[in-house]
Amino acid sequence: MNNLAEFQNETKLRQTVYAFIASQLLTKQEREQYRRVFEQLDVDMNGTLTEDEFVSGAKLFFGEQLTQTDALQLYKKIDLNGDGTIQFNEFVLVTLHKDELHSQQKLRAAFDMMDKNGDNTISPDELLEVFSFNENFDIQMAEEMIKQVDMNSDGGIQYEEFNYMMRNIDFVKILGGGKHNSNQPISSDDGKDQKMSNDTKS
C-alpha cells in the first residue's frame, strides 16, 4: 500500500498532525472500519499490535510488495510514543487514505485544535503541548521544527503555512534542500496561488 511507503518519508510534524487527525477527527464509521482491520491483526486481542503481529499481518492487508524488512522498519516508525507496541491510533495513522487526511475540513479542524489561543498561529509552546506524549520533546525542538515550516520567519506556523506543508507532496524535498523560498507561490484554500512575503503576518 502506497500510504505505508509514503509514511516513511514524512516529516515528524506531518506525522504528528496525521496522528492528531486519526485520534481526534475521524467519524464513527471511519473508526469502526479501521478498528475491524486492527482487531484482525491483534491476534492476542490485548488492544495493541506487537512486532510479530504487525509483521505477520502486514502482507495480508498491505500487499505482497511490502517485504519483511520494510515491515520491521515501518513498525518502528509507526510506534510514535516509543512504547514498543502499535496503538490503534498509530495504526490508523498510516492506513488512512491521503485524501481523508488532507481534506480541507480535517486540516482546518486539526490546526484550530493545535492553535490553543485562536490567534491563527501555532507557537512553540502550543507545539510543545501537541508533542506532550513524547517526554524527550522540549521547547528547543519545537522551535527548530517550526523553523522548517515557518515561511515568513515570524516564529510561528500560520494556517497558510500549515496547509501548504500538509498538502504539498514536494514539501519533504523542499526541506531537504533548505527552507522554502518565500517568493514561491503556494496554494490557498480556494486553489488560487498566493505569495507569502517575509513581512506577512496573519
Short-list 174, 180, 134, 178, CA closest to 157:
180
**Taking the model in full, what pTM does it have?**
0.58
Within 8 A by CB and 6+ apart from 16, the residues are: 80, 130, 131
Give the pLDDT confidence score for residue 172 in this predicted structure.
40
CA angle 40, 71, 138 (to 5 degrees): 100
Which pLDDT band, with edges at 50, 70 and 90, does 139 fall under? very high
Over residues 68-107, the pLDDT tens digits come to: 888 888 888 778 777 889 988 888 876 765 566 667 888 8
Give the pLDDT confidence score for residue 196 in this predicted structure.
40
- Looking only at the bridges linking them, the beta strands covering 121-122 and 193-194 are unpaired
Q: Which of 14-18, 53-57, 69-73, 113-117 has the highest mean pLDDT?
A: 113-117
Within 8 A by CB and 6+ apart from 196, the residues are: 151, 152, 160, 161, 182, 186
**Any bridge partners for residue 158, and if so which?**
121
Q: Which of 86-95, 114-123, 167-176 has the highest mean pLDDT?
A: 114-123
Over residues 27-65, the pLDDT tens digits come to: 888 888 888 889 999 999 999 999 999 888 877 776 767
Give the pLDDT confidence score for residue 100 in this predicted structure.
66
Of the chain, the end-to-end C-alpha distance in Å amounts to 38
Distances (CA, A) of 57 to 17, 44, 71, 84: 26, 13, 10, 17
Short-list 5, 101, 85, CA closest to 38:
85
Give the pLDDT confidence score for residue 105 in this predicted structure.
85
Report DSSP letters for 88-143, one per residue.
Answer: HHHHHHHHS-HHHHT-HHHHHHHHHHH-TT-SSEE-HHHHHHHTTT-TT--HHHHH
User: What is the CB neighbour count within 10 angstroms for residue 181?
Assistant: 11
Domains of the chain: 2-101 (1.10.238.10), 104-194 (1.10.238.10)
pLDDT averaged over every residue in the chain = 75
Task: Name the residue with cell 516564529.
Answer: 155
Give the pLDDT confidence score for residue 192 in this predicted structure.
38
Average pLDDT rounded to a whole number, residues 140-160: 92
